Every structure is written in C-alpha cells, then in structure tokens.
Amino acid sequence: MKAVYLFLLSWLFTLLPFPSFSQSAIFPGFNRRTLTHDSQIVPYHLFTPQQTTGNQRYPLIVALHGVEMLASAENQWMNNNTVLKNYALGWTSPIVQNEYPAYVVAPHVHNGLSAHYGNWNTTQSLSLLNQLLDYLLENESIDPNRIYLTGHSMGGIGTLRMPLLLTNRFAAYIPLSSAISANNVTEIEQGIHNYAYTAIWSFHQGQDTGNSNMRLVYNHFKNASYAPHYTHNFGNEAINLSASQITSLIRRHQRYFYTEYSYSCVQGASCHTSVMDSAVVEPLLHQWLFRQYKIDPEAIMITAVDTEHDHRITWQAKNPQDSIEIWFKPDTTSDWTKVHQTTTIEGNSFDLATKVGQEQISPLSKVMLVVLNSDKFAYGLAQSSVENVPTALTNEITEAYFRVYPNPSQAIINLDAPINLAVTRPKYQIISMVGKVVTEGILKTNRLSLQDLPKGVYLLKIQVGEQLLVKKIMKHN
C-alpha cells in the first residue's frame, strides 16, 4: 500500500499544470480589514482557520502580491482576476486547510498607497509588515515560531530578499516567480550569511523572465554550503526527483529547495502567473512548509569532535531536556543518515566511530545535530566536518587563557590571549553554527569588528602555530 501511495504521489507531483482555483473552492472567511500605519489606511485580508480550538496556536502565512495589485484600485483585491490571487487564496483551499489549518494574511498596497510604500522591501513596507505581524500576534492564536512568508513576482522578490532586511520574524520563505535583477543577486551573494538559518523553497517556470538570475542565487547557496536540492529542472539539466526522494530529503531536515517547471505555457504572463496555481497545490511543499520552525542559533553548538577518541562528538544545548538527533554524512555524495537520538540530560557526547565504524569516517565526513522541542519541531541545528572541530583539550586551553570581551557585542570585540596577537598576526576564522566560514583573515590588532555580521552565535578560531584558540561569540543588534 505504501508503494502505491508513493507512486500516486509522485505522479501527482509531476502532473502539470494544475487547474486554477475558483472562488467556489475557497473556504469562506477571507475577510477584509484595515490597519492604520504611518497615517495611511492599509487594507488587508485575513483568513482564520475553522479548526481553532482552546489555547492551541496555528501557523501564519503572510502573502505578498505582485506589481499588478500595486496598480489596482483599493476595492479590486477580491474582485479582480482570481488567478492573480492564488499566491494567497490557494492557502485557504481545503487542499491545505483540512490537513494543515493555518492563518493567511494578504496586505494590499493599492494604487493609492503605492507612492508611499513602493515595493515590499522599502523602509515603509518593512515597518508596515512589522506592525501587522505585531497586531496579529497579539490578537489571534498564532504561533510566533511558525510564520511563513510567500509572494509572487514583486512579492516574490520581497520574499527572497527578506532575510537581508528583517531578522527573527519568519521560519520559512516561498518565493514564486521572483523577477529578481542582477543587483538583487549581488546583494544576496554579499549577504549570504543572512540565509544560514533560513528555509527556502523557490518555484519558477523555466521560460519565465528572471529565472536565470534565480539559478545564480541558488548557485550562491550551493557555494555557501547550504546544499540546495533541485526537484524538477535546473536550466537545461533535468533532475526529476521522485516524490519518495523529496519526502526523504524533507525528513532529513533539508531546508533549501528549488523547483523549476518545464510545462508548456505562453511566454510572458502565462508562464509568470501559472506558477502560483502549480506551487500552492504541491503536497510535498505543504509537508515541508508546515514542519518548519524558527531556528534558534543558540539552541545547540558542537564544541568538539575528538579524533583521538572514536571521533567523540561533544555539544552544548540550550535546553537539555529536548531531544537531539545525530546525523552522519560519510562523504559529499552520500545522503544524511540518522545514527542516534538522545537528550543532553543523558549526556552531551557521542562516540561516532563506535556507531558507524571508523572506516566510514574521512576528512569529507560531516555530522549534524538537530534539536527537537516537545512538539517534535526542529528548532536548532549545528553542522560540522568531523575533522575541523577543536578537541576537548583545546577547549580547556581556550577557556583558561583566551578571553573575548565584550561578549555578546554589537560591533567590536577585544581579544585577550596568552600571546601578542598584533605581533604574531595569526589567521582567524568566524564560523556560523551550521559550519560555514562567514569571514576570515589575518589579525593585525587585538580588536576584531563584528559590524558586518548578522545577529547570531558564532565560533571564533585563531590559529597560532600549532595551537588553535577557539571561543564562542555572540553578535547582537
């Protein structure tokens, strides 16, 4: 029976294009409201799930419209072409709501507001989104850790760029037909570290304008070791993952996906808008999205992998009672495999070689720790090469002789080490909690700037001869 289900699901996933939603297919209750912001009266539509009960909190999907709605009149949001609303209306369908009840909000920056707000990434628009989210969190039964952002066209650009602009708001992003520019690609490349704790699944039609730039963005994700997965096509390369393959990736906590459709469409508006119809009914997108939970960079940190003692992994967890999954990847071409599950209460170390066998471990091997809360949502992760983490002995030396202050810091940290760093001029690296080197260089003074780093937790490594000085540092705004 399971094999039959996966076959049918795989067939459904590749059967494109899907039919458009009609008004009759939409749950009632997508009601118009207004919000006063910056002396402007901004309309928005809010859908409330029918299954709300007791103290339970539900996800919220924030849907940003394209430029066609920017040019429309105030009263045209629900009356205009329904096909152009599926970036929002699709999420209110029984296809979604029966299995994943969720709030949906769609603000409308109409032609009377366009001069004030412009696109979705202006200072005014960001302030509007923040105020709207604050209001909804205060007045509705919304889970603040499960707020998801999506948008089409101009809204897709806003969705894709949002990690550069608003931090600690959204758990996942779904850009649809993002007509991004070369300048957008450059700014994402320059701010790629802002995407380290995000979850993104982008949808595009291969013939659509701007799609080539999206491929460049995902190449930057790949170069940043975010390991994106391509489901259908990537330019001229046909991928065509099956439903079972994608489901397996989702269960392995993979967070970056890219879907490029190749179905027949009319070059221009048809290719650009039909993506909305196809994406919002993807059952695997639903499965992926509603698993996403806002990542806490401080939830867990791998402090050591001791290569001399069975590759013993040692970690620090923020909440010791939460469950920790330990995943292993023997080389770059292999899949992640879960090798153990524990809690820090039971201990904060694990002998990797004892479990997987020493012969499976190489310099290309990686380990990933995933923290699950009591509701089984993954809210913390740490990833590292098994050969590139200081041993416990090095940590003891670090704690005793290497001091960083102030820590946390907004901009500048001072380094107090057993040697004069300004004279020895050692190499340093700052590494994110997913194992990505976000900046590196030569120390020329005993001070180091964190100004260009986003808020978060990092490892600072300083190589002095054969000694490796390591310290956990925190950047706050």
Task: Please give the single-letter amino acid code of residue 161.
Answer: R
Q: How many CB atoms lie within 10 A of CB 75?
A: 12
Q: Are 316 and 57 in contact, with CB atoms under 8 Å apart?
A: no
Question: Angle, to 10 degrees, between the axis of helix 2-14 and the axis of helix 243-251?
Answer: 100
d(CA 156, CA 148): 13
Q: Are 318 and 372 in contact, with CB atoms under 8 Å apart?
A: no
Rounded to 5 degrees, φ, ψ at 306 are -85, 100
- Compute the residue count for the chain: 477
Helix (H, G, I), strand (E, B) or coil at 47: strand
Rounded to 5 degrees, φ, ψ at 271 are -65, -35
Q: Spell out, as residue ranges, where the chain has pLDDT lower than 70.
A: 1-28, 52, 77-84, 210, 267-269, 388-402, 417-424, 434, 465-467, 477
Please give the full DSSP string across 317-330, using - where no structure is assigned.
ESSTTSEEEEEEE-
pLDDT score recorded for residue 294: 95
pLDDT score recorded for residue 84: 66
d(CA 362, CA 417): 32
Pair of tokens at residue 113? 């507001």
What element of type H or E holds 211? helix 211-223
Cα–Cα distances in angstroms (integers) from residue 54 to residues 58, 96, 290, 402, 439, in the given order: 11, 21, 20, 51, 47
Q: How many CB atoms lie within 10 A of CB 316?
A: 15
pLDDT score recorded for residue 346: 82
pLDDT score recorded for residue 81: 52
User: Closest by alpha carbon to 204, among 192, 189, 215?
Assistant: 215
What element of type H or E holds 248? helix 243-251
Residue ranges and CATH numbers for the domains of the chain are 2-289 (3.40.50.1820), 300-385 (2.60.40), 392-475 (2.60.40.3080)
Owner of token pair 């600072």: 460
CB within 8 Å of 268: residues ≥ 6 apart: none
User: Closest by alpha carbon to 396, among 471, 343, 298, 334?
Assistant: 471
d(CA 310, CA 3): 39
pLDDT score recorded for residue 317: 87
pLDDT score recorded for residue 284: 96
d(CA 289, CA 167): 19
Please state the pTM of the whole predicted model.
0.80
| Residues forming beta bridges with residue 449, ordered by sequence position | 412
Cβ-count burial of 315 within 10 angstroms (0-12 exposed, 13-18 middle, 19+ buried)? buried
| E strand map for 153-299 | 172-176, 200-205, 229-230, 233-234, 237-238, 256-261
Pair of tokens at residue 325? 């999954």
